Structure 1
Amino acid sequence: MHFIANRVGRQHQATIDRVHAALGPAAEIIEDEIRGRIGCLQLAVANTSDMWRMVVDAHRPIFGRQDARLWSREQGDAFGTATITSSGVLVVVNAQACKGRQVEIDKTLLHELTHAAQFNRPGARDLLMRSLANNYGITPMTEAEAAAANRQVDADEREAERMERHHRQLAKSIA
């Protein structure tokens, strides 16, 4: 796992420190609970606008030049996000949204690391790549393919939301 703080100021040091401290224990919880591997992970703490630029930068080697506004308009001020990269998974925690909210930091890590493990399931990465190519207007999906992809996204999101309940266990393992 590779950890970076992307151009965030001192006012977000507590968030950076918490993410750094919670990363290992959160990954263990996720891998134990869903019996999957997180794999090659790059984890970043960034401000809101840089978070979406990082997603676009992660997609650029896979899909070509992209527009960050596509993401920021759809996602707003999310606590975090996870996406595929050419070599694994990128998880970004939004330092601005999480500032001073330790429980949200813990829940966000659990949620996004769940997505990282989901992306490593058989066939998941290929489905996500096809879905992103469709969203970027590169390679369209049929309505049936898009509907199936959306059902999988919904199921994955429900599982990630359920994993947030382990935030107390995570907090105890760090304290």
Structure 2
Amino acid sequence: MPEMNLVERYQAHRVRRFLANSEKWRKLLPSWRTQRRRRVLVAGLAVTFALMLAVAVACHFYEKAPLLWLPASLLFFLIWPSLAIVSGRQGDAPPGALDEWEVQQQNSARSTALSITQWLVMIPVVYLVYGSALTGGTHTTMAYTGGLLTLTMLMIGGCLPTMILAWSRPDPDPDPESDEFLMEAA
């Protein structure tokens, strides 16, 4: 058997780490693993991103608006890990940990997310390029606003594969080892 190169060793490490983490988080938030509840989390994350965009736009007009970024970030750091856990982290799973159908869905979600991200990032780019040209670079909050807009757009793009998969995947099959499954079978 030929020796594995650096990339192959790294991919094998990612698969092992992913599977170990999956086992660790598998029993967490069991009632939130249904499609309906995952969709609630996806909607909550979308609202959080809308709030982040509103804060970024408000930063253009009000110098104290960046303080509103803290509650938006707190909301993000509550919802995002929950969504990642209940969706099984399928959006960023290494291909070696997925079957062919899951890899195909992941690639489709990632492709869609990349296209959306490229278009979304154009918003802060246009804002910064034309805004700085129109103001001569003298607007004091333009850089901060552009930074928050860019950060929000990139966060949306980074979360989109998981959001797409969590929204579209059906409810998981019942676990044959779970108590609920054993009670239904009796």
Compute the TM-score of the two structures, normalised by the length of structure 2. 0.27
Which has the larger strand fraction? 1
Which has the larger helix fraction? 2
Structure number with larger C-alpha Rg: 2
Q: Which structure ranks higher in relative contact order (CA pairs < 8 Å, sequence separation ≥ 6)?
A: 2
Compute the TM-score of the two structures, normalised by the length of structure 1. 0.28
